[in-house]
Homo-oligomer: A and B are copies of this chain.
Amino acid sequence: MKKLIGAVERLFPMPCPLVVGGTMEQADTLAVAWINVVASTPPTIAMGLRESRHTLELIRTNHSFTVNIPRADMADVVDYCGLATGRKTDKFAATGLTLTPSSLIDTPIIAECPYNIECRVTSETQVGAYVLVLGEIVEVHAEQAILRDPDGDVIDIEALDPLCYIAGSREYRRLGERVATAFEAGKRFMDDTD
C-alpha cells in the first residue's frame, strides 16, 4: 500500500562532498548534497546552490570550483561547513581543514579529502531560488591508498569510505555491503533479442 506524500525534494542516496570556491588566498567551502555527474563528453558535474551562498560568489569570480569527497569519519566537519557561513567565519580555521593547490585551475582542493575533482564552470542557470552550476571536470586527484591498482584510476570504495547523506531523516551514513556487479548482474534476463 502506497501513500502520496507531496512534492518532497528527496532522492536516495545523496553524496555529500565539500565544494570549494575561490583561490589559495581567499577560499570558502560548503557541503553540497545536490550534486552529481551528468555527462561524460565532456565530463560534466551539475550542482544546485542557493543563490545566497558565499561560495557561489567566489565560484562566479573565478569560474571554477573543486568537489572534495570526504570520508565517513569526517561527518562532523562536513556538517559544520553546511551550517556555518564563510561570510562571518573562516571555516578552514574553525575545522582544521587545509587547502592545497589544484593542477589546472586557481581554486584549491581540500587536502584531508581523499578524492578531489577540479572543475571549470561551463554554464549557470537560474532554477527558482537556486542556481544550477555546470562544471567541466578537468582533473581528479586520488590518494594512492584508495586506488585499487596503483597504475589505474579505479577507486577501492571501501578504502575511500565516502560520506553519504540521507535527506528527510537528516542523517549521514557510510556505504554498506556489495550486493552485485554492474553490467553483469542483469545478464540473466537477456535473451537473443537483447
B residues near A165, Cβ cutoff 8 Å: 182
Which of B11, B67, B183 is close to A11, meaning CB atoms less than 8 Å apart?
B67
Report chain B residues within 8 Å CB of A177.
173-174, 176
Contact A179 B72, beta carbon cutoff 8 Å: yes
Interface residue? A108 (CB, 8 A): no
Give how many copies assemble into the complex: 2
Query: Nearest Cβ distance between residue A62 and chain B, in whole angstroms?
Result: 19
Q: List the one stretch of A21-29, A33-41, A53-61 in contact with chain B.
A: A33-41
The reply to whether A169 and B188 form a contact with Cβ atoms under 8 Å apart is no
Query: Are B186 and A4 in contact, CB atoms less than 8 angstroms apart?
Result: no
Residues from chain B with Cβ under 8 Å of A129 in the complex: 39-41
A92-135 interface with B by 8 A CB criterion: 94-95, 103, 115-117, 123, 125, 127-130, 132, 134
- B residues less than 8 Å from A188 (CB atoms): 76, 80
A123 to chain B, nearest CB (A): 8
Q: How far is the CA of A7 from the CA of B39 in the complex (A)?
A: 12
A141-B3, A174-B179 given as contacts; is B44 within 8 A of A37 (CB)?
Answer: no
Q: Which of A149-194 contact B (CB under 8 A)?
A: 150, 153-157, 160, 162-191, 193-194
A137 & B172 in contact (Cβ 8 Å cutoff): no
